[in-house]
Amino acid sequence: MNKTPVVEHRTVEEARRDILTAFQRLPAERIALHEALGRVLAEDIRAPHDVPPFRNSAMDGYAVQAADVQHATPDQPVFLRVVATIAAGGTPTRPLRAGEAMRIMTGAPVPEGADAVVRFEETSDTWAPEERPPEQVAILNPVRPGDNVREAGEDVRQGTVVLPAGTRLTPAGLGVLASLGFPEVPCVRQPRVGILATGDELVQPGEPLAPGKIRNSNEYVNAALVRRAGGIPVPLGIARDTVEALTGKVHEALALGVDMLITSAGVSVGDYDFVKHVLAAEGEMHFWQVSIKPGKPLAFGLLRAPDGRSVPLLGLPGNPVAAYVAFEVFARPAIRKMAGLTPILRPTIKARLQEDVRNSGRRHYMRARVWRDAESGELRVSTKGDSLRVQGSGILSALVWANAFAIIPETTAHVPAGTWIEVELLDVPEHALPLIDPTVAQYEA
Ligand SMILES: Nc1nc2c(c(=O)[nH]1)N[C@H]1C(S)=C(S)[C@@H](COP(=O)(O)OP(=O)(O)OC[C@H]3O[C@@H](n4cnc5c(N)ncnc54)[C@H](O)[C@@H]3O)O[C@H]1N2
Ligand code: MOO
């Protein structure tokens, strides 16, 4: 086995910068509209035609010339000759002339010559059948030009970029694409991310818990976080602590064509952390001590795939909370970059810290809860849960309690209660953050 790889020190920003340079946005693929919810547009979408494509009626009523009916009142109606009926989906057979009206349904094309529609409710259609004038309609109220008429292109004008590249498709976005005639759209391919747990102590949920064993929880957390970040998890199970087992799993991942491999554990200084050696043999690896808490030991590098590709590997620490924090801070931005999502980083918002906090030279991502104080309207944040051990890097249940990370800078030894600090809200989509803190919009770019 080769000698122990060198361990380098990195700040969070240095580590993230080094990691992100290894990732590019993935190429486009065509996705059918029904499958495209939540997908990211790979290209600007330009409108091939107007929406609506033609001038049409917004109401069921009579197409008229507004000038003809400008003096109409219920007592002195204006009588117009009804010359046609136009249904939605139909087309007018001739233009409308002065003194004429055409019955028209909502969505039907407004005939040339007509400039307004009078609703049935304001015509003799409301009268008893025997009182209605034959072959005529009595108009009871005036309309102005344009009333109840929807102009061609008033929704979307032909040639405009209606959805820019990078848009994450919503139900409404899919509707706009359908209205423009796209049966499928170019979307950024979703990154496939291999998830590998390492360690002889691990057993899967559902297997018996023998002495000295613990359950593999990182695989499930990481797979779910990959999905949340816009990727597709490819679970690879557990690699046992042998060179052959781990090498085999790495090769399996590469053969599956993953865009990235995320491992957990084996990156610190324990006797059995040969993971480092195996990874170093499979590519060009770096082993870092990042000034972050938890999540200090981190491995990053490029694996050599048999087809010649370089596949980035991120080796997260084993401790479940350290793995979670390192995923959020380093893996999530990389996945979002591949997926074409912006902003790559989770925006932070400000909340008022409820208790004194001490820190020791690393940037501390503290498990926290944020809420809005009913009286002051302020956002508040607390790092104290029921358990005294809430900040331990193995206390996974504290991450269930937490809805945020409170970020304590590495430069600060003591943050007094009452200080406004930066927090990252977990599980809140980026577009919803301005609802919680209106100042967050500045982070959107
Ligand atoms: N002498 C030192 N010891 C440790 C240091 C150090 O600097 N000097 N760093 C500590 C820190 S910080 C962390 S974080 C851990 C990281 O260690 P590894 O990444 O090498 O991971 P392991 O030692 O293999 O495991 C740590 C812990 O996590 C549990 N684990 C591992 N995989 C899973 C999984 N898939 N699901 C659930 N839990 C998992 C494992 O059983 C251990 O309890 O090292 C400290 N030690
Ligand atoms: O990464 Mo360790 O504490 O920093 O859990």
247 backbone dihedrals φ, ψ, rounded to 5°: -60, -45
Q: Does domain 7-26+190-339 have CATH number 3.10.150.10?
A: no
CA dihedral 112, 118, 120, 121 (to 10 degrees): 170
Q: Does domain 28-49+161-188 have CATH number 3.40.50.300?
A: no
Is a pLDDT exceeding 70 seen at residue 444? Answer: no
Is a pLDDT exceeding 90 seen at residue 368? Answer: yes
Q: How far is the CA of 178 from the centre of ligand 1 (A)?
A: 50
Residues 6+ apart with CB under 8 A from 435: none
Q: How far is the CA of 412 from the centre of ligand 1 (A)?
A: 26
Is a pLDDT exceeding 80 seen at residue 150? Answer: yes
Q: Which of 12, 9, 3, 5 shows the shortest CA–CA distance to 285?
A: 5
Q: How far is the CA of 68 from the centre of ligand 1 (A)?
A: 84
Is a pLDDT exceeding 80 seen at residue 192? Answer: yes
| Better-predicted residue by pLDDT, 161 or 269 | 161
Q: Return the ligand 1 atom nearest residue 268 CA.
A: 20
The stretch 378-392 carries a mean pLDDT of 87
Q: Return the ligand 2 atom nearest residue 294 CA.
A: 4
Structure tokens at 427: 């599980």
Q: Return the ligand 2 atom nearest residue 394 CA.
A: 5
pLDDT for the residue 389: 79
CB of 294 sitting under 6 A from ligand 2:
yes
pLDDT for the residue 261: 98
The stretch 210-227 carries a mean pLDDT of 98
Q: How far is the CA of 265 from the centre of ligand 1 (A)?
A: 6
pLDDT for the residue 425: 96
> What topology is assigned to 56-150 in CATH?
Molybdopterin biosynthesis moeA protein; domain 3 (2.170.190)
Confidence of residue 266 (pLDDT cuts 50, 70, 90): confident
Classify the phi-psi angles of 90: left when phi > 0, otherwise alpha if psi is within -120 to 50, otherwise beta. beta
CB of 319 sitting under 6 A from ligand 2:
yes
Please, what is the average pLDDT of the chain? 95
Q: How far is the CA of 399 from the centre of ligand 2 (A)?
A: 14
pLDDT for the residue 5: 76
433 backbone dihedrals φ, ψ, rounded to 5°: -60, -40
Confidence of residue 439 (pLDDT cuts 50, 70, 90): confident
Q: Which of 258, 253, 249 shows the shortest CA–CA distance to 202?
A: 249
Domain range annotation of the chain: 7-26+190-339, 28-49+161-188, 56-150, 349-443
pLDDT for the residue 445: 43
3-state secondary structure of 303: strand
Pocket test for ligand 2, best of 9, 290, 321, 405 (most atoms within 8 A of CB): 321
ipTM above 0.90, yes or no: yes
Confidence of residue 296 (pLDDT cuts 50, 70, 90): very high
Q: How far is the CA of 184 from the centre of ligand 1 (A)?
A: 46
| Better-predicted residue by pLDDT, 35 or 268 | 35
Summarize pLDDT for 19-78 with one digit per residue, the tens. 999 999 999 999 999 999 999 999 999 999 999 999 999 999 999 999 999 999 999 999
pLDDT for the residue 27: 98
> What topology is assigned to 349-443 in CATH?
Beta-clip (2.40.340)
pLDDT for the residue 61: 98
Confidence of residue 385 (pLDDT cuts 50, 70, 90): confident
pTM: 0.92
| Better-predicted residue by pLDDT, 5 or 171 | 171
Q: Distances in Å between the alpha carbon of 407 and those of 302, 364, 366, 382, 398?
A: 30, 6, 6, 12, 16
| Better-predicted residue by pLDDT, 444 or 409 | 409
Confidence of residue 6 (pLDDT cuts 50, 70, 90): confident
Pocket test for ligand 2, best of 319, 328, 330, 367 (most atoms within 8 A of CB): 319
Summarize pLDDT for 313-344 with one digit per residue, the tens. 999 999 999 999 999 999 999 999 999 999 99
pLDDT for the residue 382: 97
Q: Distances in Å between the alpha carbon of 291 and those of 8, 121, 410?
A: 11, 72, 8
Same topology between domain 28-49+161-188 and domain 56-150: no
Q: Return the ligand 1 atom nearest residue 296 CA.
A: 12
- CA 311 – CA 326 distance, rounded (Å): 19
Q: How far is the CA of 422 from the centre of ligand 1 (A)?
A: 27
Closest residue to atom 30 of ligand 1, CA basis: 318
Q: How far is the CA of 141 from the centre of ligand 1 (A)?
A: 80
The stretch 111-136 carries a mean pLDDT of 97
pLDDT for the residue 2: 54
Residues 6+ apart with CB under 8 A from 126: 120
CB of 293 sitting under 6 A from ligand 2:
yes
The stretch 403-414 carries a mean pLDDT of 97
The stretch 210-224 carries a mean pLDDT of 98
CB of 322 sitting under 6 A from ligand 2:
yes
Is a pLDDT exceeding 70 seen at residue 228? Answer: yes
3-state secondary structure of 369: strand
Ligand nearest to the CA of 265: 1
Q: How far is the CA of 318 from the centre of ligand 2 (A)?
A: 8
